[in-house]
């Protein structure tokens, strides 16, 4: 059940991040004011990302697949599941969190949009790079 929640929530996280990133790049290019809705898009993406991280960590610590994968590091699929996916995704969530924190310290709308757009985008690229696509799309 936890695996199903983690997989389903991944779609929500990816969609929320894409929406927040597109919104920020559009705001940046249009040179518009950073408004409450812009903040809401970024905050929703941040919240879903953190919830996904918590679910993923619970899954990693409780799943027999995680424990089995740790003992078979020569298998690239197992290594992806046991080490690469969790480690890179934690780094991605840290970057997204930094983007959120840094945008709050900016005075200009341009700076706020920039922090969210770029740091969220790097986080999204990292997340996409370590999704175990063969497992995810097989379901």
The pLDDT assigned to 139 comes to: 59
Domain span holding position 25: 2-137
Q: Tell me the C-alpha distance between 22 and 132, whole Å.
A: 25
**pTM attached to this predicted model:** 0.88
CB of 127 within 8 A of CB of 14? yes
pLDDT digits (tens, 9 = 90+) for 66-102: 666 666 677 777 777 777 888 899 999 999 999 999 9
pLDDT tops 90 at residue 109:
yes
The total number of structural domains in the chain stands at 1
Burial 42-56 (b: 16+ CB within 10 A, else e): bebbbebbeebbebb
Computed over its alpha carbons, how large is the radius of gyration of the chain? 16
pLDDT digits (tens, 9 = 90+) for 17-74: 999 999 999 999 999 999 999 999 999 999 999 999 999 999 888 877 666 666 667 7
Q: Tell me the C-alpha distance between 1 and 112, whole Å.
A: 38
Residue bearing tokens 């919240």:
47
Half-sphere exposure of 56 (CA within 13 A, CB side): 25
Lowest-pLDDT choice from 17-21, 33-37, 121-125, 127-131: 127-131
């Amino acid at each position: 059940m936890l695996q199903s929640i983690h997989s389903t929530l991944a779609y929500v996280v990816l969609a929320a991040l894409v929406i927040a990133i597109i919104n920020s790049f559009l705001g940046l290019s249009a040179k518009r004011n950073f408004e409450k809705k812009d903040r809401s898009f970024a905050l929703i993406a941040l919240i879903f990302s953190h919830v996904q991280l918590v679910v993923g960590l619970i899954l990693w610590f409780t799943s027999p697949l995680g424990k089995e994968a740790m003992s078979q590091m020569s298998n690239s699929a197992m290594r992806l599941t046991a080490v690469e996916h969790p480690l890179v995704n934690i780094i991605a969530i840290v970057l997204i969190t930094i983007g959120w924190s840094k945008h709050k310290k900016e005075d200009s709308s341009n700076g706020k949009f920039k922090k969210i757009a770029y740091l969220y985008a790097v986080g999204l690229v990292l997340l996409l790079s370590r999704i175990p696509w063969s497992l995810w799309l097989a379901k």
